Structures are given as structure tokens and as C-alpha cells.
């Protein structure tokens, strides 16, 4: 026994002695300018088989320490996003070792040594979305976000109803940097008109989103990503743009100008980013309308002309920070604010020819209308992201507040004239609108990989919305302003949505699948305090999604997808206010509007970069705009109603062609058939359908001396939407040229939109007793100039892009269809 104890003691002493021979390596990683590189991955590799022994990340000072290393021969491998990977020479380790400072080379320096003649095309078709590379487009220069979207394949801007449509379907969820802007309808188009293209990096168009996304948006999602800067240091971009519309019979004051500044600074564990912009806009509309009425033998022919100029100055600012508490955990805080104050001048002339028993009676109404509308929006986001491991297991949490305010003051002075031009009556009205919307929301998302080829995503979300709309309408009677009791109203809307979702994804050699289900519980209450009218709804909806991808070969791929989505009425559509437009036209909300639900199906086949997409969607209770006409008073009332069923069949083909080394051509064509049915719409069965097409072609030319040229063309054929029909083919040719200087840091761009002034809207509404034709011309032709300069370290890692918890809610604020 004594011998055994002695032997065990000797072995323990030997073990301790062996443990004491374990070593550590320390050192520091810097870039070529001797600036510390935090969070670089340092791996210890065995020599000569290069198997990984241990790995660590550098701290905020670029330092690292690796312990518990046996004696032996090793090399170090260093890798970092934005830098060239590096390996050290072989070294022997038999004691603690402090390595000399290791310098790694940024990709910026490498790129200077490479001649880059190509660039991303304006339109990229990816497997799950279409991407518009706005910052690379010359023809987007000087334009607005709305004008850029108008050039996107499958996107239509309906300026008559202020809707953005995708493949002839309304109900598009618009997001900015993963969060929805706070508006919809007319207000979202106004906001996008105030957003300069110089602020935009890319625009993503997603026609069939997964269950991870909010279920809102039956036509899909448009996500506008603002410019970011790219590992450490400071950089930024400053740009100036100016433009002038060139339109016949329009005011001369149609210029626009703007300044944009983007900054990003990253040092140690902190990343601070911000951007700001100020822009002056001016737009003009010339709207012509004619319609007829008939009552008790009296037929009236009305011809109206509206000349509207809208101009104003908008400010936008964003400030945020990311704090990298560790290699796995990041905290983020972001504030985003924008405000715009617009002034609208609207002159209208209505001529009325009344015929009864063969006798003509002429009269007219002249109206001057003015309005000021300051709009403000503030969004605050707090975000946490934690990566549990390097296999993709992660947890995110967002908490948000969004506030929106719109204070509008309007005045209307109408003069009624007889056939001889003498005044027979005058009316003076004024409206005051005070709208406040507050949104509170929180969400969390968990990504859980089960293996290298299988994962689960799940999450929860809750949101609460309160809107207050106070509308006061007054008439000037007997020398004093008096409340118009029939129009003034106070409306309060509250909504709570609780959601949960789960996605399951699995990959095989040829097949990939993703199955998802989202459940949303909605409780809403609309209360017209003035009218003592309350509508309360409480319901649960399920939104399944399914995606199957089949990789036939290296160049052939097929993707099948299905999703169910919803569009809830926006807050102003539910508001029962009666909005006065002119003596013969009013606009009214409908508190009884129901949400519309859509089933979307898509098949996409791709060969190399070319693709063919077939789609079908079925929408029930479609929210649409209806015009009701009182033939006795001649007043037309624009309202929103649910239309029974809308089916949309679509086919799209995308073919890129590289004609020469210096000439690239992109071609996109979409064909769709839209069918609308309702057994009892305004007292009669409605059945209408039409085939329509969308074409897009763009040529980009790389010229000598750092010049480049772009020419593009888009076209939309006549189409039908609800009871309204577009009766003309809309198209435009745009061209632009760019010159790069100072190692491509300075860029000068000049372009013109709608060179031949062919982009205008004309349509008709013929249903029941309404027979109306409309022509709307707007500032589509404009010459633009832009100068931009990139400064600082152009390899600064950007701020994280993250979705906030108010994504699906904020898009429903505001007015319009």
C-alpha cells in the first residue's frame, strides 16, 4: 500500500509539473494606420496541419490573450470584416509569449490596386426580392423616393388616389430602414415626395414576405434603406441637389433644392451614426374633370379645372448609437424625426350647363382655396441583440414609441356666377384639423438553429395605438364665423394587436423549405364622440406561409411560395368626418370598413440571372374608393367601401443582357389580369376585368474619362382598379450622365426625367349614375443636378439595420385611399 501511495503522489506531482508548462500568447491587432482593431478574430493553428486549437476576439483596444496552450509549433490566423485575412509565420511556444504588434490590411487599400469597371445594376432580381440600387443610379439623381419607385418594375404610382400599387394591387406596406414610416395614402406619398433620392442606398421590393414580417400589406413590402457608411474611424457623405420642372401652363416657381449629410463614427465599443437633410419642394397639378347629372328632366354637364401648387420645406434627422458590450451582445438606441410644412394654393373653375326642356342655363363657380399643413413625426427605438453562439442562435428585443401630429388649416372662398358673369352668391368656409397619433410597441425574435441545415424562428409582438382627430368646420355667416355642426367632429380610435409567429426551415442538397404561421389578435374601437357612434371589433386571424426552393442545377432554380396577408383600414379611412373639397365635392370616411384579406401564390423560375415569375392573388373585402353622386344637388361624395372579391393573375420576365463590355441592358416585362366582383355594390352587381402590362428597360454605358451614362424607359398600359379605369398608356424616357473625380470621391450628375412629357394620368368612372372623366397632369418633367463628396475613412462599418416594433402600424396613419 505504501508503494502505491508513493506512486500516486509522484504521478500528481508530475501532473502539476505538466500543468505548469501550459503557456499563453498575448498581442495587439492594428490596421495599416496603427489604429486598434477591436473584435477581430484571432485563431491559434497547429503547424503544419493548421487545425484550430483556440480562438478569441480582440478587446476594444485591439488586444488579445490566449491561455492554456501546450508547447509546440503554431501560427496565428487573424480575420475581420472589412480587412484582408492574415497568417503569421510559424513560431515555437515553450513559454509565455508576447507577440509583436500585428498589422492587417483594410480592403479599402486593396481596392485601390484594382481597376473596377463595373457596378451594380439599378435593378437586381434576387431569389426573394427585387432590389433597386438607387445610389448607383444616375437617373435617380435629384429625384424623390416616390419618383424612384415610379421607375421600378411592377410599381405604379396612382396620383389620382395617392396610392402606391404593386402589380396593380394596392395595400403596399412601406418601410424605411426596416421600420414603417408613420403615414399611408396621401400622407405617405407626401412623405416620400419629401425624401431625396440622395438619402437612399437601396429599395427592396418583397412580393411574398414570410411569417416573420407583420401580416399587413396584401400586395407586399417596399423597404427603403437609407445610406450607411462601412470597420472603424469616421466617414461621411455630403451632397447638394437642385432641380427645375419644365412644364407648359404652369407656375415658374417649380424648383427644388436640398442638402444631405450622412456621418458615421466607430471607435472601440461604440458606433455613433446620424444623418440630416433639408429640402425645398414644389409641385404642380392641373386636373381637368367632366361629369354629368340627370334628375327630373334636368340634365347637367359639369366641366371642372383645378390648378394646385404645393410647396414647402422639410427637415429630416436621425441620431443613433450601438454599444458592443461584448462580442455577443449589442445595445442600440435610435431617434428619428422629420417635419414638413407645406402650403397648398388651389384655384378651381366649375362651368355648369343645365338643360331642361330644350333650354340651356349656364352658370359657374370660382373657388380660391388655401391650406397650411405642418406635419411632424418622432420615432424612438431601443434594441438589444444577443448572439448565444457562432452557429446563429440569437435573441433580439425592440421597444418603440412613435408619435405623429398633423395640424391643417384650410380656407375656401367660392363665388357663384350666372351666365352673364355676375356674382349671385358667395360662401366662405374654413376647416381646422388637429390629428395626434401615439404608438407603443414591443417585440422579441428568437432564432434557434437545430443543425447546420435546420432552424426555427419564433417571436412575439404587442402594439397599442391611440388616435385623436379633432375636426372643426366653420362658415362665415352674417359677419361671424359659425360652427358647421353637420361637419365638425371629434373621433377617437384605439387598437391593440398581439401577435406570435413561428418559422421552420430545412435544407437538403436540392430542396429548401420554410413553413411559417403567424397569429394576430386584434381589438379595435372607433368612437365618433360628436355623433355618439361607436364601432368595436375583436377578432383572431391566422396567416400561414410556405416557401419551397428547388435547385435543379447550378444555373436552374425554381421557387414556390404562398402567404396570407391583411390590410386593415388606415385611421383616416375609418374617420367618419366629411371633408370639404369644393362646393360640389366632399370626401368621407367609413367607420364600418372591414379589413381585407389576401392569399398570394407565386412560382419563380430563374436561369442564371434571368427569371420568370407567375403569380395569383385572391383578395376578399377589398378596400376601394367609391363615388356617390346626388343628381339633385350635383354633389359627389367620395367614400371607401369593401368590394366583394379582387383576383389578380400576373406573369413577369426579367432578362439582363451584356451587349458589350461598356453597355449593359436590363429588360423587365409584366403582364397581369385584374378581375373585380361584387354581388351588390351600390345597389347593383359589379363585374369588371382587364389585361394590363408594365414594361421597363434600362441601358447603362461606361464611357472614357470616368464618364457614365444611363437611359431608361418605363410604360404602364391602361388598367382597371375597382370601379375606376385608367384610359391612357403612361410612359416616360429618362436619361442622365455622371462624371467621377478625385479618385471617385467627388461625383457630378445631371439628368432629366420624362424628357418628352408623356407621363400623365387619364381615367374614367362609369358606374350607376356616375359618368366622369379625369385628366391629371403633374410635374413629371424635371431637370436635376447633383454634386456629392465622400470624405473620411470609406471602410467604416455601418450602423446595424434593424426592424422596429411599430412596422405594421405606422403605415396606416394619415389620409387618402
SS (H, E, C) 357-379: CCEEEEEEEEEEEEEEEEEEEEE
Look at residue 178 in the predicted model and tell me its pLDDT. 66
Q: Would residue 333 count as lying in a domain?
A: yes
Q: Would residue 431 count as lying in a domain?
A: yes
- Inform me whether the pLDDT recorded for 390 exceeds 80: no
- Closest CA relative to residue 135, chosen from 210, 252, 229: 229
Q: Is 781 exposed, middle or buried (0-12, 13-18, 19+ CB in 10 A)?
A: buried
Number of other CB atoms surrounding residue 478 within 10 Å = 6
Do residues 88 and 63 both lie within one domain? yes
Do residues 413 and 531 both lie within one domain? yes
Q: Would residue 750 count as lying in a domain?
A: yes
Q: Which helix or strand (DSSP H or E) is residue 187 part of?
A: helix 186-194
Residue range 768-774: average pLDDT? 95
Cell 429548401: give the residue. Answer: 512
Burial 563-574 (b: 16+ CB within 10 A, else e): bbbbbbbbbbbb
Q: Would residue 103 count as lying in a domain?
A: yes
Instruction: Name 116's Cβ contacts closer than 8 Å, sequence gap at least 6.
Output: none
Look at residue 20 in the predicted model and tell me its pLDDT. 46
Q: Would residue 207 count as lying in a domain?
A: yes
CB-side exposure of 84: number of CA atoms within 13 Å? 14
Question: How much is the mean pLDDT over the chain?
Answer: 84
To 10 degrees, the CA torsion angle through 554, 132, 751, 793?
A: -90
> Among 112, 136, 165, where does a domain finish?
112
Instruction: Name 114's Cβ contacts closer than 8 Å, sequence gap at least 6.
Output: none
Do residues 359 and 381 both lie within one domain? yes
Do residues 571 and 475 both lie within one domain? yes
Q: Which of 21-35, 296-310, 764-778 has the lowest mean pLDDT?
A: 21-35
Do residues 83 and 160 both lie within one domain? no
Could you give the CA distance from residue 112 to residue 487 in angstroms, rounded to a whole number?
Answer: 66
CA angle 792, 122, 142 (to 5 degrees): 65
Look at residue 112 in the predicted model and tell me its pLDDT. 42
Do residues 637 and 616 both lie within one domain? yes
Look at residue 193 in the predicted model and tell me its pLDDT. 65
CB-side exposure of 205: number of CA atoms within 13 Å? 22
Look at residue 686 in the predicted model and tell me its pLDDT. 95
Look at residue 615 in the predicted model and tell me its pLDDT. 94
CA 465 to chain centre: 21
Q: Which of 209-223, 280-294, 473-487, 592-606 has the lowest mean pLDDT?
A: 209-223
Q: Domain holding 88: CATH number?
A: 2.60.40.10
Give the pLDDT band of residue 401 (cuts 50, 70, 90).
very high
Q: Would residue 12 count as lying in a domain?
A: no
Could you give the CA distance from residue 290 to residue 518 in angstroms, rounded to a whole number?
Answer: 47
Give the pLDDT band of residue 220 (cuts 50, 70, 90).
confident
pLDDT tens digits along 565-587: 998 888 778 888 888 888 999 98
- Inform me whether the pLDDT recorded for 812 exceeds 60: no
Q: Which helix or strand (DSSP H or E) is residue 643 part of?
A: strand 636-660
pLDDT tens digits along 515-530: 999 999 999 999 988 8
Residue range 723-728: average pLDDT? 94
Could you give the CA distance from residue 357 to residue 359 in angstroms, rounded to a whole number?
Answer: 6
Could you give the CA distance from residue 483 to residue 357 in angstroms, rounded to a whole number?
Answer: 40
Number of domains in the chain: 2
Q: Would residue 520 count as lying in a domain?
A: yes
Do residues 196 and 89 both lie within one domain? no
- Closest CA relative to residue 596, chosen from 121, 226, 217, 161: 217
Residue range 678-698: average pLDDT? 94
Q: Could you tell me if 63 and 30 are in contact, meaning their C-beta atoms sit under 8 angstroms apart?
A: no
Give the pLDDT band of residue 695 (cuts 50, 70, 90).
very high
Could you give the CA distance from residue 170 to residue 158 in angstroms, rounded to a whole number?
Answer: 10
Do residues 77 and 97 both lie within one domain? yes
Do residues 480 and 570 both lie within one domain? yes
DSSP 498: E
Number of other CB atoms surrounding residue 166 within 10 Å = 25
Look at residue 734 in the predicted model and tell me its pLDDT. 93
Q: Domain holding 701: CATH number?
A: 2.40.170.20
Give the pLDDT band of residue 24 (cuts 50, 70, 90).
confident
Q: Could you tell me if 471 and 436 are in contact, meaning their C-beta atoms sit under 8 angstroms apart?
A: no
Burial 496-531 (b: 16+ CB within 10 A, else e): bbebebbbbbebeeeebbbbbbbbbebebebbbebe
Do residues 101 and 135 both lie within one domain? no
Could you give the CA distance from residue 9 to residue 74 in angstroms, rounded to a whole number?
Answer: 33
Do residues 71 and 212 both lie within one domain? no
Number of other CB atoms surrounding residue 397 within 10 Å = 16
Give the pLDDT band of residue 292 (cuts 50, 70, 90).
very high
Q: Could you tell me if 123 and 152 are in contact, meaning their C-beta atoms sit under 8 angstroms apart?
A: yes
Grid cell in block for residue 603: 412560382
Do residues 48 and 194 both lie within one domain? no
Structural domain range at position 305: 123-810
Q: Would residue 308 count as lying in a domain?
A: yes
Amino acid at each position: 500500500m505504501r508503494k502505491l501511495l508513493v506512486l500516486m503522489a509522484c504521478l500528481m506531482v508530475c501532473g502539476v509539473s505538466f500543468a505548469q508548462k501550459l503557456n499563453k500568447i498575448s498581442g495587439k491587432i492594428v490596421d495599416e494606420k496603427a489604429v486598434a482593431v477591436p473584435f477581430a478574430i484571432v485563431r491559434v493553428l497547429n503547424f503544419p496541419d493548421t487545425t484550430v486549437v483556440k480562438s478569441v476576439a480582440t478587446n476594444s483596444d485591439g488586444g488579445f490573450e490566449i491561455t492554456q496552450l501546450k508547447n509546440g509549433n503554431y501560427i496565428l490566423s487573424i480575420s475581420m470584416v472589412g480587412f484582408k485575412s492574415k497568417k503569421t509565420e510559424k513560431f515555437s511556444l515553450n513559454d509565455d509569449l508576447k507577440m509583436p504588434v500585428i498589422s492587417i490590411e483594410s480592403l479599402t487599400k486593396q481596392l485601390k490596386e484594382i481597376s473596377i469597371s463595373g457596378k451594380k445594376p439599378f435593378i437586381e432580381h434576387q431569389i426573394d426580392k427585387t432590389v433597386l440600387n438607387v445610389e448607383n443610379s444616375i437617373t435617380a439623381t435629384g429625384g424623390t423616393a416616390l419618383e424612384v419607385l415610379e421607375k421600378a418594375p411592377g410599381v405604379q404610382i396612382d396620383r389620382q388616389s395617392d396610392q402606391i400599387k404593386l402589380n396593380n394591387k394596392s395595400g403596399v406596406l412601406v418601410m424605411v430602414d426596416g421600420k414603417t414610416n408613420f403615414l399611408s395614402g396621401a400622407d405617405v406619398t407626401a412623405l416620400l415626395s419629401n425624401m431625396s433620392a440622395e438619402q437612399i442606398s437601396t429599395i427592396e421590393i418583397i412580393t411574398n414576405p414570410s411569417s416573420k414580417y407583420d401580416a399587413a400589406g396584401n400586395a407586399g413590402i417596399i423597404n427603403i434603406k437609407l445610406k450607411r457608411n462601412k470597420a472603424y474611424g469616421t466617414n461621411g457623405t455630403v451632397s447638394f441637389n437642385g432641380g427645375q420642372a419644365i412644364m407648359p401652363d404652369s407656375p415658374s416657381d417649380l424648383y427644388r433644392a436640398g442638402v444631405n449629410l450622412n456621418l458615421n463614427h466607430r471607435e472601440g465599443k461604440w458606433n455613433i451614426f446620424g444623418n440630416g437633410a433639408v429640402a425645398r419642394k414644389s409641385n404642380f397639378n392641373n386636373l381637368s374633370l367632366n361629369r354629368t347629372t340627370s334628375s327630373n328632366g334636368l340634365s347637367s354637364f359639369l366641366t371642372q379645372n383645378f390648378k394646385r401648387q404645393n410647396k414647402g420645406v422639410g427637415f429630416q434627422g436621425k441620431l443613433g448609437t450601438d454599444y458592443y458590450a461584448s462580442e455577443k451582445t449589442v445595445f442600440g438606441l435610435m431617434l428619428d424625426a422629420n417635419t414638413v410644412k407645406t402650403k397648398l394654393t388651389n384655384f378651381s373653375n366649375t362651368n355648369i350647363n343645365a338643360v331642361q326642356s330644350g333650354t340651356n342655363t349656364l352658370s359657374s363657380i370660382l373657388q380660391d382655396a388655401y391650406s397650411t399643413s405642418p406635419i411632424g413625426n418622432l420615432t424612438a427605438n431601443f434594441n438589444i441583440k444577443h448572439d448565444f453562439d457562432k452557429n446563429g442562435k440569437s435573441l433580439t428585443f425592440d421597444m418603440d414609441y412613435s408619435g405623429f401630429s398633423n395640424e391643417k388649416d384650410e380656407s375656401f372662398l367660392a363665388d357663384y356666377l350666372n351666365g352673364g358673369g355676375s356674382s349671385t352668391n358667395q360662401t366662405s368656409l374654413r376647416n381646422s384639423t388637429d390629428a395626434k397619433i401615439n404608438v407603443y410597441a414591443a417585440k422579441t425574435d428568437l432564432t434557434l438553429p437545430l443543425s447546420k441545415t435546420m432552424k426555427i424562428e419564433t417571436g412575439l409582438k404587442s402594439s397599442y395605438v391611440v388616435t385623436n382627430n379633432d375636426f372643426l368646420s366653420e362658415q362665415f355667416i352674417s359677419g361671424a364665423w359659425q360652427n358647421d355642426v353637420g361637419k365638425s367632429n371629434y373621433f377617437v380610435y384605439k387598437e391593440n394587436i398581439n401577435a406570435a409567429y413561428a418559422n421552420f426551415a430545412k435544407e437538403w442538397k436540392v430542396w429548401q423549405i420554410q413553413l411559417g404561421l403567424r397569429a394576430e389578435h386584434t381589438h379595435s374601437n372607433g368612437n365618433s364622440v360628436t355623433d355618439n357612434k361607436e364601432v368595436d371589433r375583436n377578432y383572431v386571424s391566422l396567416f400561414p406561409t410556405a416557401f419551397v426552393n428547388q435547385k435543379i442545377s447550378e444555373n436552374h432554380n425554381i421557387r414556390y411560395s404562398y402567404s396570407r396577408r391583411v390590410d386593415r383600414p388606415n385611421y383616416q379611412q375609418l374617420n367618419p368626418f366629411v371633408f370639404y373639397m369644393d362646393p360640389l365635392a366632399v370626401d368621407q370616411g367609413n367607420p364600418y370598413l372591414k379589413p381585407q384579406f389576401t392569399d398570394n401564390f407565386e412560382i419563380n423560375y430563374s436561369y442564371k440571372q434571368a427569371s420568370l415569375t407567375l403569380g395569383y392573388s385572391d383578395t376578399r373585402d377589398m378596400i376601394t374608393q367609391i363615388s356617390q353622386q346626388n343628381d339633385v344637388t350635383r354633389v359627389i361624395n367620395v367614400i371607401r367601401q369593401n368590394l366583394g372579391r379582387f383576383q389578380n393573375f400576373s406573369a413577369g420576365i426579367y432578362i439582363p443582357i451584356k451587349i458589350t463590355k461598356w453597355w449593359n441592358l436590363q429588360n423587365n416585362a409584366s403582364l397581369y389580369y385584374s378581375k373585380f366582383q361584387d354581388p351588390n355594390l351600390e345597389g347593383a352587381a359589379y363585374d369588371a376585368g382587364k389585361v394590363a402590362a408594365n414594361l421597363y428597360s434600362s441601358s447603362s454605358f461606361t464611357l472614357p474619362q470616368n464618364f457614365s451614362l444611363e437611359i431608361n424607359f418605363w410604360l404602364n398600359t391602361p388598367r382597371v382598379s375597382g370601379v375606376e379605369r385608367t384610359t391612357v398608356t403612361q410612359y416616360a424616357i429618362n436619361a442622365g450622365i455622371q462624371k467621377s473625380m478625385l479618385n471617385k470621391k467627388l461625383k457630378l450628375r445631371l439628368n432629366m426625367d420624362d424628357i418628352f412629357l408623356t407621363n400623365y394620368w387619364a381615367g374614367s368612372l362609369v358606374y350607376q349614375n356616375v359618368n366622369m372623366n379625369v385628366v391629371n397632369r403633374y410635374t413629371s418633367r424635371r431637370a436635376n443636378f447633383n454634386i456629392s463628396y465622400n470624405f473620411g475613412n470609406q471602410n467604416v462599418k455601418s450602423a446595424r439595420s434593424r426592424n422596429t416594433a411599430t412596422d405594421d402600424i405606422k403605415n396606416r396613419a394619415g389620409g387618402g385611399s
